[in-house]
């Protein structure tokens, strides 16, 4: 069974769906002049000092939903309580997603920006199977049987149990209202935590959370359509050039000579040897464009490599003329991806097997996509700039079975989390960026009075969760203000209602 895992990374690159998967999260640490609207700090060096937390580990049951497996593992969580000055003050609880929690902690500046104003304790809880929170230690990914407890339901139960424990054991926290926050998959978890455990969290901020990117809820093409729109809007001829590039690659790499030429022009670390390698280059390019759409932030930011402000605009400067001959067009494509991979000019060669940070757990997320997180994606090459590719559930299911010995359950996420029928829930903010491809599967239309939708037209992937920045568009400043207002409202309502004790005197 262990051999199931041998080809994962490779598949992640070549699999169509993995494009969506691998790119689910690309948050960058920014480096740019800062303006704090809440008067805290004004430059990134000070910000680093701000991020001051203690690391703890909590003994979680490996299986919350069965009792034969009674062992525990150490779930990591980070606590910053320097802004908490009285009993019953709120707790902002980051529902960790598919990666190292310290990385999310460092990249969720919003929580640090508002901690003082809310007098809040910050908690960042790591998601099981990511970072250091490995249920079976080094063995966790060694065999599919150990992955059986990697589900969103188990993760939500971890969060609920941990919050209950904190309220019991942290002095003065017993009456503290807890608000869940998260971005991307973490935002989905924040929303779901409020839906499934409303007695544990009084509300949730779900930023860029595509809870509707499930079968039948939104058209499968919406994701790549938005990516394409971002490029179309960022420069004349831009998306058309990319749309044409796929055929150009096919043409050029149809000969041995062409493979060599492309390897050289693209400064690839590993030269292309055959048609399959050329296909891998196309997947890598596709992921790169997707990543750019997600991190199309209005200021210089530091992702894996530093990126300029509005990176897609910079990219599009090299993609103005789709009518160029193949080789000239591809030379422009190289210049364009070079913006993403070599903004500093220090990159020696381009490595097509990596497109995003090592802080994310790709295999873990791949397993989740192969089980519950079935998020159909497709492209048609007409409404988007990518090669046409249908959503083929059966092929995907077979790939998952080959990889992990499990098959995805297409309907389960909708059955368990409600799909579009979420109106009976309350106190959830769904914020979405208009530039973010994941907004296509997000909640972008008002559902009810206390399910709030906030749109940030100029925002990429969960821009609102990042630190305030001098170059932030007004829409994200307004969004953060509104988010704080709602959080204050929930906190006040919780104080007014006083939940009954679950413990006899």
CA pair distance 427, 335, nearest whole angstrom:
46
Candidate list 136, 393, 412, 471; residue touching a second copy; CB under 8 A: 412
Beta carbon nearer to a second copy, 158 or 287: 158
126 neighbors 101 (Cβ within 8 angstroms): yes
Question: CA geometry: angle at 77 spanning 74 and 83, to 5°?
Answer: 155
- By CB under 8 A, is residue 418 in contact with a second copy? yes
CA pair distance 87, 52, nearest whole angstrom:
21
Nearest to 102 by CA among 301, 358, 354: 358
Beta carbon nearer to a second copy, 82 or 423: 423
Lookup: tokens for 56: 């703890």
Query: What is the DSSP code string of 154-186?
Result: HHHHHHHHHHHHHHHHSTT-TT--EEEEEETHH
Active site residue 380: no
Candidate list 197, 310, 386, 430; residue touching a second copy; CB under 8 A: 197
CA pair distance 338, 347, nearest whole angstrom:
9
481 neighbors 458 (Cβ within 8 angstroms): no
How many binding residues for a second copy (CB under 8 A)?
A: 56
Residue of 81, 158, 436, 464 marked catalytic: 436
Beta carbon nearer to a second copy, 153 or 387: 153
Min separation Cβ 166 and a second copy, Å: 13
CA pair distance 456, 474, nearest whole angstrom:
9
Candidate list 55, 426, 444, 478; residue touching a second copy; CB under 8 A: 426
Beta carbon nearer to a second copy, 6 or 499: 499
Min separation Cβ 165 and a second copy, Å: 9
Give the β-pairing of 54-61 and 91-95. unpaired
For residue 389, list its beta bridge partners. 379
Active site residue 241: no
Beta carbon nearer to a second copy, 109 or 144: 144
Lookup: tokens for 222: 């919406």
Beta carbon nearer to a second copy, 132 or 493: 493
Place of tokens 């509707």: 212
Min separation Cβ 210 and a second copy, Å: 15
Beta carbon nearer to a second copy, 306 or 405: 405
Min separation Cβ 163 and a second copy, Å: 9
Min separation Cβ 150 and a second copy, Å: 9
Q: Is residue 308 classed exposed, middle or buried when 0-12, 13-18 and 19+ CB atoms within 10 A define those classes?
A: middle
CA pair distance 84, 492, nearest whole angstrom:
16
Query: What is the DSSP code string of 285-337?
Result: HHHHHHHHHHT--SS-EESSSEE-SSHHHHHHTT---TTS-HHHHHHHHHHHH
- By CB under 8 A, is residue 222 in contact with a second copy? no
CA pair distance 9, 19, nearest whole angstrom:
12
Min separation Cβ 114 and a second copy, Å: 24
Min separation Cβ 55 and a second copy, Å: 24
Active site residue 15: no
Min separation Cβ 43 and a second copy, Å: 42
Lookup: tokens for 127: 């998601």
Q: Of residues 476-505, which lie at the interface with a second copy (CB under 8 A)?
A: 497, 499-504
Q: Of residues 361-400, which lie at the interface with a second copy (CB under 8 A)?
A: 371-372
Min separation Cβ 52 and a second copy, Å: 30
* Stretch of 180-188, 217-225, 283-291, 334-342 contacting a second copy, by CB under 8 A: 217-225
Nearest to 36 by CA among 324, 467, 494, 473: 467
Q: Is residue 344 classed exposed, middle or buried when 0-12, 13-18 and 19+ CB atoms within 10 A define those classes?
A: exposed
- By CB under 8 A, is residue 308 in contact with a second copy? no
- By CB under 8 A, is residue 449 in contact with a second copy? no
* Stretch of 20-28, 150-158, 185-193, 383-391 contacting a second copy, by CB under 8 A: 150-158
Question: Residue 266: which H helix or E strand, with range?
Answer: none
Residue of 25, 64, 425, 461 marked catalytic: 461
Site string for a second copy, 68-107 (x = CB under 8 A): x-x-------------------------------------
Candidate list 219, 308, 381, 473; residue touching a second copy; CB under 8 A: 219
Residue of 133, 184, 208, 263 marked catalytic: 184
What number of residues does the chain have?
505
Three-state DSSP state, 130: coil
* Active-site amino acid positions: 184, 436, 461
Site residues (vs a second copy, CB under 8 A): 61, 64-68, 70, 144-145, 147-149, 151, 153-154, 157, 160-161, 164, 196-200, 216-219, 371-372, 405-407, 409, 411-412, 414-416, 418-427, 497, 499-504
């Amino acid at each position: 069974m262990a051999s199931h895992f041998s080809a994962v990374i490779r598949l992640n690159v070549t699999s169509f769906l993995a494009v969506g998967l691998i790119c689910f999260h690309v948050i960058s640490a920014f480096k740019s002049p800062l303006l704090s609207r809440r008067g805290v700090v004004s430059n990134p060096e000070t910000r680093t000092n701000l991020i001051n937390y203690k690391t703890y580990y909590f003994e979680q049951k490996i299986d919350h939903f069965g009792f034969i497996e009674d062992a525990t593992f150490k779930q990591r969580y980070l606590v910053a309580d320097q802004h908490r000055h009285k009993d019953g003050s709120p707790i902002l609880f980051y529902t960790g997603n598919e990666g190292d929690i310290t990385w999310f902690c460092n990249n969720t500046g919003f929580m640090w920006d508002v901690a003082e104003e809310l007098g809040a304790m910050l908690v960042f809880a790591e998601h099981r199977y990511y970072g250091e929170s490995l249920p079976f230690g080094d063995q966790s990914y060694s065999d599919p049987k150990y992955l059986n407890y990697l589900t969103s339901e188990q993760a939500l139960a971890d969060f609920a149990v941990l919050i209950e424990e904190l309220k019991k054991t942290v002095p003065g926290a017993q009456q503290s209202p807890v608000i869940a926050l998260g971005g991307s998959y973490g935002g989905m978890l924040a929303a779901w935590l409020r839906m499934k455990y409303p007695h544990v969290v009084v509300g949730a901020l779900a930023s860029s959370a595509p809870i509707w990117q499930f079968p039948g809820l939104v058209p499968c093409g919406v994701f790549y359509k938005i990516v394409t729109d971002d490029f179309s809007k960022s420069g004349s001829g831009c998306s058309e050039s990319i749309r044409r590039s796929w055929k150009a690659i096919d043409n050029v790499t149809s000969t041995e000579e062409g493979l060599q030429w492309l390897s050289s022009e693209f400064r690839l670390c590993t030269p292309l040897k055959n048609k399959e390698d050329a296909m891998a280059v196309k997947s890598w390019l596709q992921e790169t464009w997707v990543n750019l759409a997600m991190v199309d932030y209005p200021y210089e930011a530091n992702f894996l490599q530093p990126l300029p402000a509005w990176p897609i605009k910079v990219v599009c400067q090299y993609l103005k003329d789709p009518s160029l001959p193949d080789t000239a067009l591809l030379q422009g494509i190289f210049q364009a991806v070079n913006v993403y991979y070599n903004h500093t000019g220090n990159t020696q060669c381009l490595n097509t097997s990596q497109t995003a940070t090592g802080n994310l757990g790709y295999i873990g997320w791949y397993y989740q996509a192969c089980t519950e997180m079935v998020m159909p994606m497709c492209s048609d090459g007409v409404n988007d700039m990518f090669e046409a590719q249908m959503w083929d559930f059966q092929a995907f299911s077979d790939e998952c079975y080959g990889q992990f010995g499990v098959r995805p359950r297409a309907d389960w996420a909708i059955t368990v989390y409600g799909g579009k029928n979420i109106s009976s829930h309350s106190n959830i903010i769904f914020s979405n960026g208009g530039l973010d491809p994941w907004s296509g599967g997000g909640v972008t239309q008002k559902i009810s009075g206390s399910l709030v939708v906030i749109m940030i037209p100029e925002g990429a992937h969960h821009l609102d969760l990042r630190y305030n920045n001098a170059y932030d568009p007004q829409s994200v400043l307004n969004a953060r203000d509104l988010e704080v207002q709602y959080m204050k409202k929930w906190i006040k309502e919780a104080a007014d209602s006083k939940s009954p004790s679950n413990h006899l005197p």
